[in-house]
Homo-oligomer: A and B are copies of this chain.
Amino acid sequence: MQPSTAAGNDVDPIIWRAIAGNSVQIPPVGSRVYYFPQGHAEHANSGSPVFLSLAIPPFILCRVLSVRFLADSVTDEAFAKIFLLPINQSDDNDVTINDDDADDDVEKDVVSFVKILTPSDANNGGGFSVPRFCADSIFPRLNFVAEPPVQNLVIRDIHGCIWEFRHIYRGTPRRHLLTTGWSKFVNSKKLVSGDSAVFIRKTRTGELYVGVRRATRGNDICQRWTSTLLRREQTSSAGTGEVRWRTGQGRVATEAVAQAAEMAARGMAFEVSCYPRAGWADFVVRAEIVEASSTMFWTVGTRVKMAMETEDSSRTACFQGTVSSVILPESGPWRGSPWRMLQAFEHGTVYDTALDLRVATEVVVEERTALKQLEFGRLSVVVVI
């Protein structure tokens, strides 16, 4: 099975990471991971996958053979295709090439800024109000002696397509704005208020990039606090029909899940597409994390803490909670599966950001979590406290 190229060209990993979010974890080539078919199935776009053989283990140890960083041609979402080879438990040493230093270097090579779009930003006929920090740190400096100070920005999106924006500093009081070109971008990407725009600058070359993140709605706990309902959906029966892809939850074909699980269970190399989205669980998890968790004695009352990024990636906040139930299926096809074995009750959380997380303090977190389930914004790690 060759990794298919039909989904488009590979994305520069540096840009990919900046657009997907800095806390997204993609296991490096050579590392050991566990593949969770149940988690994969949760990403299917319709129904439950059909497994030809009934004996699909709940988790399968694999080695990462390759990783491709890609972009969804319809939604612009960053996603990764990971090529996995099932391996034995005894094969327990990572063969990762340790290039952490190199990674750090290149990561410092970009600077990025995320803004959640206001209604004014996303309105038809409107421009984009550029926060001061973005204008100063990302965009080229304007010539402020001109009247008005103005320049044309040439920015590439995740596909490498070029977009042009007029960047002007005007108004009383003065502020930075993107005018001409912005509206076309918003319409083309089908952005609505609540979505985010990511502006990225490669510090060495000065090249500019722009990415989008869709507002997380319609999944799990996120659904409860969001006040923006299905504004992207067809509002009247005679609507334009152009935004229908918004209704689909999963991004992965049901049959692709079934096929991957089948091949994994047979010990054959297989490929999975991972869409890192807030509120969706990773189903390919570093083996070290799974193994550390499996040695933990989970019991009701265990207190846990979860670090996660806010939606605009500007800060990291914490969930704190108590495990309220531990469920390991005792029968059925998934007997003994740790997937979503934990359910936590959240309490007494201290946040260092106010806006986005405040409503969540009032709800019971019902997600069952093995390790990385309670995503909100993006979860980075679970710590027992």
Enumerate chain A interface residues (CB-CB to B < 8 A). Answer: 1-2, 4-7, 45-47, 50, 52, 73-74, 160-164, 181, 184, 187-189, 234, 237-242, 244-245, 253-256, 258-259, 262-263, 266, 268
Contacts and interface: CB of A to CB of B under 8 A. Distances in A.
Nearest to A2: B47
A238 B164 contact: yes
Given A46-B7, A50-B1, A187 B259 contact: no
A145 to B, nearest CB: 30
A183 to B, nearest CB: 11
Nearest to A73: B244
A234 B259 CA distance: 33
Nearest to A250: B6
A326 to B, nearest CB: 32
A191 to B, nearest CB: 12
User: Is chain A's binding surface mostly helix, strand, loop or mixed?
Assistant: loop
A263 B160 CA distance: 40
A84 to B, nearest CB: 14
Given A47-B4, A47-B6, A253-B255, A184 B52 contact: no
Given A245-B74, A255-B258, A258-B255, A184 B238 contact: yes
Contacts of A268: 52
A238 B154 CA distance: 10
Contact of A52 (B160, B240, B263): B263
Given A256-B253, A256-B255, A239 B188 contact: yes
Contacts of A1: 50
Contacts of A242: 188, 242
Which 9 pairs from chain A and chain B are nearest by CB? A6-B46, A255-B255, A255-B256, A4-B47, A253-B253, A188-B240, A162-B237, A161-B237, A255-B259
12 contacts: A2-B47, A5-B47, A6-B46, A52-B259, A52-B266, A161-B238, A162-B237, A162-B238, A184-B240, A188-B239, A253-B253, A255-B259
A46 B244 contact: no
Contact of A254 (B4, B45, B254, B258): B4
A163 B161 CA distance: 35
Contacts of A184: 238, 240
Given A255-B256, A258-B255, A187 B240 contact: yes
A146 to B, nearest CB: 25
Contacts of A50: 1, 259, 263
Contacts of A73: 244
A164 B237 CA distance: 10
A74 B238 contact: no
Contacts of A254: 4
